[in-house]
Structure 1
Amino acid sequence: MSLARLSEEKERLACVEETRDSSTTSMFTSRRRVALDLLLVCWGLGTWLGVNGLFVQLPLLVERLPEGWSLPSAMSVAIQSANIGLLIYASLRKVTRISDTTCIYGLLAIGTIALFLNSFLFPKTVLIGDKEKSVAFLTLTFFVALVGCTSSVLFYPYLRHYREIYLATYLVGEGLSGFIPSIIALIQGVGGEPDCVPAGNNTFQAVFPPPRFDSTVFIVLLGILSALSLISFCILHNYSGFSSERVKEGEAAKEEEASLPRVSLLKPEWIGLMVLMAVLNALSSGVMPSIQSFSCLPYGRQAYHLSVTLGAMANPTACLAGVWLKPVRGRWLTLMLTLSAVLLAYIFVTAVQSPTPPLYTQTSGVIIIVVSWVVCSGLVSYARMWVFASARRGGARGMRQCGALSQLGSAFGSITLYCLINYTQFFNQAPDCPARPS
């Protein structure tokens, strides 16, 4: 997805490194415990693993589930609904004395169980009205997404217990939550284009060549990786051998807060920054994942498969690159956004003109659509990260405002595209095997 997305807190962590006197290189070369690094990487892997993994599995799921090409839009809405986890967490903290550690245990356990259940229940459908609906898959996807949507207020604060040099390794883990599922999906493949066999009455039925292993195996592998994240956190929290790597409560947070300059939240530049953040999140978490099936499937299953998997890999790669590269501002940011807008315009045209978009019968068309999706996914992710970095100038209040608008933008994009796809004729799915003239 792209809707495979990284949390806003990861973007915040990435840009924090720029404000430090010590460079990222020194963070990696400072004295550290490699075992603790590995545990933090495995723990961070569990944040958006389920969401990213299910998104890269969409090229196969759209063939088996009744929603067809509109499945990504329904899945985006289910994921955005998981933001209710933030409200549940806030309510629990007000009425109980539940600790963040207990909530982290609970979230990772819920995500792991939901993935294992989804691996076997995703084909089950329910008849609602006169249509079959993938209630089990979408419901379990909601519970899987609870981990990522709530990790921003749980996982990052927990990192304050450890030395600053371990922030980077946690970031690596979050980046791998999109990268590893994409690698597994590339190995899995999609099996090729369907064969059309006669089904009587001058109709034909699509027979899809199987991938190297099916979706059940893929989602089970995601469940195993999620369980690894849970086990890693258990060791991380309970092993006394890492006590030397811990810091005093609140020390790191106070240092970071003191280093941040302040800006007025009423200035036009700030308002423009917040609008840009909302728009970028609406695109990356709502619009782009929802229309990707309509944009890519007319070019073939392989084009859709590569666009989803390579795009999901471009997302964390772009964000992790931001840890080492200088911030993009001024004309370079404008140039990046302009190129993104051009690519988005082409992507939107292909989706609206589905099932006969430009060059859909040509090899050049396949190459252009795949490259457009991969480059656009990377550019939007990179731009989001540095816009979020600029938002840090507003301090804690500005960061909360930025986070809220990010979530609102994502929800608006998802709901809008869901309505357009399911209740209008803007986007059309082609039959796998159209009827042939007698």
Structure 2
Amino acid sequence: MVNVTAFLLVIMFGSSTWLTINAIWVELSLYTSRLPEGWSLPSYLSLIIQAACLLTLIYSVGHRYTRFNTNKAPLILSLLIFGSICMLLLALFWQETFWLFNSEHSVALISLTFCMALVCASSNLFFMPYMADFHNSYMSAYFLGMSFSSFIPSLFKLVQGVGKYNCVEHLLPNGTLQLKAIPTEPLFSIKIYNSLIFVWMSVATLAFAILHWKFEHAKENKKVKETKQIVGENAFAEVVREQIDENNVGVVVADEQSPLNSNNNVVKENNGIIKLQNNNNGRGMRYWMLILMLTLISAQMNTIIPSIQSYATLAYSMITYHLALTLSNISHPPANFLPIWCKPRSLSIIFILTFICTASTIFIFILALQSPEPMLRNSFPFMGSLLSVSASVLAGFLCSYLRTLITGLVRSEQANSEKALFWCGFFMQIGSVIGACAMFPLVNYYNIFKKRDPCIF
């Protein structure tokens, strides 16, 4: 029986996973117009975030191969408190800059982003395995909470607005006049926005503390959990027996047989005894195909699209970038909820959805390459903006849906759910690191993406 209070606490806990980083991403429409890196700021942040992810990968290797274990609850609580403090510091010092390597950089924002990324990246490696101790019903609440980690900042951002540019004449040292873009203020400041995120993060931290120390009964019985991990084949055999009609011994309903447990083929002997035969090749192929698609999706969602989205949208207008960021993040909650009702297990269907998601990412990449004159910018700017925003929303929706779908399938179809979720988180980080390492030099060294001057029409 699901406890409603525990269910709500899990949602709040889940909302802390990537809350701080998502809050930074949706605020980029303001950061890029006020900080010295400009349109290339997202690529800097992507690289910094993945540098933090490398530290979590080092932990993951140590955890798997040295059998070094930690008490998850105190560690998670410490991470959440640390993330909350970093968010408060960001609210106070986000605009502090310093000269490094002969140019001005947003040192405060970048360094605090690195610290918060440590917390967020650790959520894939600590938070999900921690949730494996709970009844499976609470996993949906956790993923719903994860979607709120993008929805809540987007909601605040929609209320805040984006402002616009005012072009004023600026006198250069040589005596010539030049138009300079001055951003106007939104409904409330970046400081207030970051303070609201700090408050939410603090409440989520409190929710985790209450969940862990007051709702032990929401966790699965230890003996049941050990049974699931040690005798997975016997558990599968029990499912098989439940599906056998007493008048037609040995017949299994095809839709109910777990694909990842397809290493266990049901065979009826002449004496009526049911046996399980191993087919490890089929199991391994399906498992690694799912992991490969999860890696690709994570690369697109966490690094590729964020690094170039400014170039694909700001060339149309600031409001286009604002809508692309916020609406794509708002699409995450329904996308994470959808697998509850629509959970295809077929690899073909999952592959087709991954292909559509990748095609949307490629379209965004093409628009970014065309900046400062992307398609329809001069002839039909509204249609161009609509296509750009639609591609961002579609890619964000499918990435979130597929991430939840694939992770849920791997968890439910593996006997050792904690180990399965750990490796899901591991390869999500691998994909993100690869994407960041590919995109940063393209944006900042090869300069294949061009910025548009908002005062040139």
Q: Which residue matches 2:210?
A: 235
Distance 1:113 1:336, change over 3 A: same
Q: Which has the larger radius of gyration?
A: 2
Which one of the candidate residues 187, 199, 202 is aligned to 2:170?
A: 199
Which one of the candidate residues 331, 334, 342 is aligned to 1:317?
A: 334
Q: Distance in 1 between matches of 2:129 and 2:354?
A: 32
Does residue 139 of the first structure (1) align with residue 111 of the second (2)?
yes
TM-score, length basis structure 1: 0.83
Does residue 337 of the first structure (1) align with residue 359 of the second (2)?
no
Q: 1:42: how far off?
A: 1.6
Q: Which residue matches 1:360?
A: 377
Q: Which residue matches 2:447?
A: 425
Which one of the candidate residues 149, 161, 164 is aligned to 2:121?
A: 149
Q: Distance in 2 between matches of 1:37 and 1:422?
A: 44
Does residue 48 of the first structure (1) align with residue 18 of the second (2)?
yes
Q: Which residue matches 2:228?
A: 255
Q: 1:414: how far off?
A: 0.8
Q: Distance in 1 between matches of 2:208 and 2:283?
A: 41
Distance 1:36 1:380, change over 3 A: closer
Distance 1:166 1:342, change over 3 A: closer
Alpha-carbon RMSD: 2.8
SS at match of 1:82: helix
Q: Distance in 2 between matches of 1:168 and 1:118?
A: 31
Report the residue type matching 2:168 in the other structure: V
Report the residue type matching 1:34 in the other structure: V
Q: Distance in 1 between matches of 2:67 and 2:348?
A: 49
Distance 1:288 1:245, change over 3 A: closer
Can you give the 5+ residue segments of structure 2 that lack an aligned partner in the other structure?
A: 237-259, 264-279
SS at match of 2:95: coil
Contact 2:229 2:415 in 1 (8 A): no
Q: 1:88: how far off?
A: 4.6
Q: Which residue matches 1:296?
A: 313
Contact 1:59 1:304 in 2 (8 A): yes
Distance 1:44 1:403, change over 3 A: closer
1:364-392 superposed Cα distances (whole Å, 9 cap, x missing partner): 11111111110122123323444445555
Does residue 65 of the first structure (1) align with residue 21 of the second (2)?
no
Distance 1:246 1:273, change over 3 A: closer
Q: Which residue matches 2:394?
A: 375
The residue correspondences of 1:267-282 to structure 2 (distance < 5 A) are 272-282=289-299
Q: Distance in 2 between matches of 1:162 and 1:384?
A: 20
More moved, 121-130 vs 387-396: 387-396
1:306-343 superposed Cα distances (whole Å, 9 cap, x missing partner): 10011112234212211221216355434433433433
Q: Distance in 2 between matches of 1:234 and 1:82?
A: 25
Distance 1:310 1:134, change over 3 A: same
Q: Which residue matches 1:21?
A: none
Larger RCO, structure (CA 8 Å, separation 6 or more): 1
Q: Distance in 2 between matches of 1:268 and 1:231?
A: 42
Q: Which residue matches 1:5?
A: none
Distance 1:273 1:321, change over 3 A: closer
Q: Which residue matches 1:347?
A: 364
Q: Which residue matches 1:185?
A: 157
Q: 1:270: how far off?
A: 5.3
Question: What is the percent sequence identity of the aligned residues?
Answer: 30
Q: Distance in 2 between matches of 1:295 and 1:265?
A: 41
Contact 2:14 2:146 in 1 (8 A): yes
Contact 1:86 1:150 in 2 (8 A): no
More moved, 248-257 vs 128-137: 248-257
More moved, 411-420 vs 250-259: 250-259
Q: 1:235: how far off?
A: 2.0
Q: Distance in 2 between matches of 1:374 and 1:278?
A: 20
Which one of the candidate residues 20, 38, 46 is aligned to 1:76?
A: 46
Q: 1:249: how far off?
A: 2.7
SS at match of 1:195: strand
Q: Distance in 1 between matches of 2:308 and 2:194?
A: 23
1:278-324 superposed Cα distances (whole Å, 9 cap, x missing partner): 32222121211100000000110111001001111223421221122
Q: Distance in 2 between matches of 1:265 and 1:128?
A: 53
Q: Distance in 2 between matches of 1:35 and 1:426?
A: 51
Q: Which residue matches 2:266?
A: none
Q: Which residue matches 2:8?
A: 38
Contact 1:160 1:249 in 2 (8 A): no
